[in-house]
Amino acid sequence: MDFNILKEKISLCETGIQGNSEHAVDCQITLPEYLPDIVKILRCYCIPGVKSHQLNGDRITADCVCTVRTIYVSEQGTLHCFEQNIQFAKQIEVRSTVNPSEIFVGAKTDYVNYRVSGQRNFEVHGAVTIFAKSSGKKCIEPVSDAKGDGIVIKNETNEICDLVAVVEKIFNISETCDAGNLSEPMGAVISSCGWTTIEELKIVSDKLFLKGQLLVHTAFTGTETHTVHTLENVININQIIEAPDITEKCQIDAFLTICDLEIKPRFDLSGDKNLIDISASLNISVKGYETRQITCVKDAYSTQYETDINKSVVYISSLHDKFSDNHLCRGVADLNSTGVSKILSFICTDITSGFSVTESACAVNGQVTADIIYEDAKGEICYAQREFPFEYSKPLTVENAILTCTPHCSVTAFSYVLNSDNKLDVRVEIDINAFIFCEKEKLITTLLSVNKERVKTIRTASLTIYFADTGEAVWDIAEKYNTTVDAVMRENHLTEPTVKEKCKLLIPKM
């Protein structure tokens, strides 16, 4: 019988592209005539965003914008804000070892410094980083079976979570929203943030139907009294995304990221700024997984010829658990020892998260960052930034494996109460979604062949007596005497693959 082998195909997720490029933010700002002079700058910060990106060969070109937003107090003690947009393109050199199916390009602020050079002038110096990363399918093909030329194989069955497809898409949404019944026209936006939630994912004919929401929180001043107002808008997200190879049987891990968010008050027909234009660039990342059983050749030898076998250590992933839950984060912020008379604006602007494992549970932990503008006891306007740590724990049990997880966290709501002791009791609702994978180290056969030029020496004795030790593997004994495991077990009426106690075994000739 001619020698032939069969192979399985396992698709794993592997990082393909990683790169970043720093961009300096240097500008001299002069306030326009319609804004009053600066007495005190409360905060000057950069809001970087990525409008679009293209992959060309070994580099990514990203079209970016950086909004320099400056909040200050005028001589009249009123709050004002000025924005200046800086548009730029950035190239990121990348090297990829896998075909990138999912490319995400994001931006983050490194630092911002400012220096006031006059009542209407100031300089801003800072830096932002544009970063790119990608995921792609890496396929390995372990040998699953072999026949012919006296080949003897040892198989192992494993449950794997096969990566079926990786899909990424950037899309834009925009909507004009009513600012409600305001006592005065809208002025400048002083603080804003956006959060996304996925409500439904449905696969139909290689297409992914996405339903979700974009929650936008905005703090802005009025044009007449310069009183701070807050506004919450909800924009529905409905998208159809091409998702080849992903079927209804797949487990879908998806998350939405805001690449760029732009908020602009504008005039309505009456001439008042009671409308707000919201536009956002969103990135949807989708991974489809399918759980199945695979058989791999763990070891092999031929009773007729010398065998060439290559083995590799791989980490095979299986889906251990997944969860989608809402977690309440509670925190206390001590704002000012001189006293707080009024909170003008409270907005959660950022969230970071990580994953850790203990003996009996996994934990998603991180912190929520909030920007707070308030009046102190003297009536002066102040700014503060506070972090509120959180930890979400989920019981689990796993042995002899590595757990991996990339949690997706989003703020769905927040509220606060100012107590009489100048402390702010904060409640933040966090939507947490995660797939937990169990990775196990496996030694698998990737190449198997027989060398017909190297014939094994055939034993002349019809039976050989072997004195086996307790715990010895029948496989090792059979390989040593160039026979099969089945023949040794059948000849000695063994029912287990290991020897239970010291004994004498009869080794039949092949």
Domains and CATH numbers, the chain: 10-137+163-289+319-440 (no CATH), 461-510 (3.10.350.10)
Residues 14 and 135 sit within 8 Å (Cβ to Cβ): yes
Residues 135 and 166 sit within 8 Å (Cβ to Cβ): yes
Q: pTM of the prediction?
A: 0.83
**174-178, 180-184, 284-288, 311-315: segment of lowest average pLDDT:** 180-184
**72-76, 297-301, 456-460: segment of lowest average pLDDT:** 456-460
Query: What phi and psi values does residue 480 have, to the nearest 5 degrees?
Result: -60, -40
Instruction: Please give the mean pLDDT across all residues of the chain.
Output: 89
Residues 379-426 have pLDDT tens digits of: 889 999 999 999 999 888 777 778 888 899 999 999 999 987 888 999
Which pLDDT score is estimated for 99?
58
Q: What is the mean pLDDT of residues 268-276?
A: 73
Percentage of the residues of the chain whose pLDDT score is greater than 90: 53
Which pLDDT score is estimated for 28?
93
| 3-class DSSP state of 244 | coil
Question: C-alpha angle 234/282/323, rounded to 5°?
Answer: 75
Amino acid of residue 107: A
In this model, does residue 269 exceed pLDDT 70? no
Residues 337-355 have pLDDT tens digits of: 668 888 999 999 999 999 9
| 3-class DSSP state of 494 | coil
In 374-505, alpha helices (H): 474-480, 485-492
Residues 178-233 have pLDDT tens digits of: 887 777 888 888 889 999 999 999 998 889 999 999 999 999 988 888 888 889 99
State the burial class of residue 420 (Cβ atoms within 10 Å of its Cβ: 0-12, 13-18, 19+). exposed
351-358: long-range contacts at Cβ-Cβ below 8 A with a sequence spacing of 24 or more? 351/409, 351/410, 351/411, 351/430, 353/407, 353/409, 353/432, 354/407, 355/404, 355/405, 355/406, 355/407, 355/434, 357/403
276 contact partners, CB below 8 Å, separation of at least 6: 176, 177, 179, 186, 218, 231, 233, 263, 264, 265, 266
Q: What is the mean pLDDT of residues 303-322?
A: 88
Most confidently modeled range among 132-141, 172-181, 269-278: 172-181
In this model, does residue 273 exceed pLDDT 70? no
Which pLDDT score is estimated for 447?
92
Residues 132 and 92 sit within 8 Å (Cβ to Cβ): yes
Residues 60-111 have pLDDT tens digits of: 899 999 999 999 999 888 899 999 999 999 998 876 655 556 788 899 999 9
Strands 463-468 and 503-508: antiparallel
At which residue do the structure tokens 């020698």 appear?
3
